[in-house]
Amino acid sequence: MTPDDAIAALGGDPQKAAEMRTYHKVDRPYLGVANPVIDAHVKDWRAACTLEDRLALADGLWQTNVHEGRVAAAKLLTQARIRPDDAGAWALIESWVPDFDAWAVADHASIAGQKRLTADPTRLDNVETWIASDHMWTRRAALVMTLPWTKQNHPKPAELVARDRILGWAARLVTDHEWFIQKAIAWWLRELSKHDADRVKAFLATHQDAMKPFAVKEASRKISV
C-alpha cells in the first residue's frame, strides 16, 4: 500500500475538515476523519504489513503532511513490542520530532515514542538533548514521551533513577514560560503525584516560584502542598 492509497482509504468529510483546521490552528490538509476511523484502518494495515513495510508506510504518511496521515503514521508505530526493536521505529519517530507544530499530532507521535523509550530506556540519552532545543515542541516532547516514568507505584531502582533524571529536566525548564512547556511540566508532575506525591511536593517547594501560577495549580491538583 502506498501513502496515497492509505489517504484515499481514510476518506473524508469536507465540513469536518474545515472545522478541524479552525480548531487545530495549523495550516495543513485535513480530511475530517475521526480517530476511531483511523484506528480501524491502522489495525488492518498493521495486520497486512511486514515491519519493513509498516515503517515505510508510516514514513510516507508522515511526509504527506495531512493531519490524519500523520496521526495514522504515529498509530502504525504505537506498539509495546516491536520485533526486531532495533533503531528503525525509534529513529523514524525521532526524525519526526522537529516537525512537531501542534499538540494533537505531537501527542500521537509521542505516545508511539513512549513505547520505544520504555522498550529501551538507553534512548533517554537522546531525549535529554532535546531539552536544549530551540524548537519548543521538541523541548515539550522530552516530557510528554517520558510520562511512563510517572506511573510506577513501586519503581525499580533503574526506574527511580530515570524518574529523578527526568525531574531534573523539568527543573531545567521551569523558567521556560512558553505555555505548552509549563503545561507539560504540570502534566508530568500531576501524573507523578498520583504515585509519588512526596517527590512532587519536594519539586514544587524548590521550583514553584519560577513556574507560572496555572502550572503550579495544575501540578498540585491531586495533592495537598
- The per-residue pLDDT for range 166-178, each reduced to its tens digit, is 999 999 999 999 9
Single-letter code of the amino acid located at 184? A
What's the whole-number mean pLDDT along residues 28-35?
97
Q: Which three cell numbers stand for residue 108?
A: 500521537
Cβ-proximal residues to 58 (8 Å cutoff; 6+ apart), any chain: 72, 73, 74, 76, 77, 92
List all residues 6 or more positions away from 62 whose beta carbon is below 8 Å from its beta carbon: 69, 70, 73, 96, 99
What are the structural domains, with CATH classification, of the chain? 1-119 (1.20.1660), 124-225 (1.25.40.290)
What share of the chain has pLDDT > 70, as a percent? 99
**In this structure, what C-alpha cell is assigned to residue 153?**
507505584
pLDDT level of residue 125 (50, 70, 90 thresholds) = very high
State residue 57's pLDDT score.
97
What pLDDT band is residue 86 in, cutting at 50, 70 and 90? confident
Instruction: Name the nearest CA neighbour of 188 among 209, 175, 204, 177.
Output: 204
Cα–Cα distance for residue pair 155/149, rounded to 1 Å: 9
Indicate if the pLDDT at residue 83 is higher than 90: no
Share of the chain above pLDDT 90, in %: 94
pLDDT band at 224 (very low <50, low <70, confident <90, very high): low
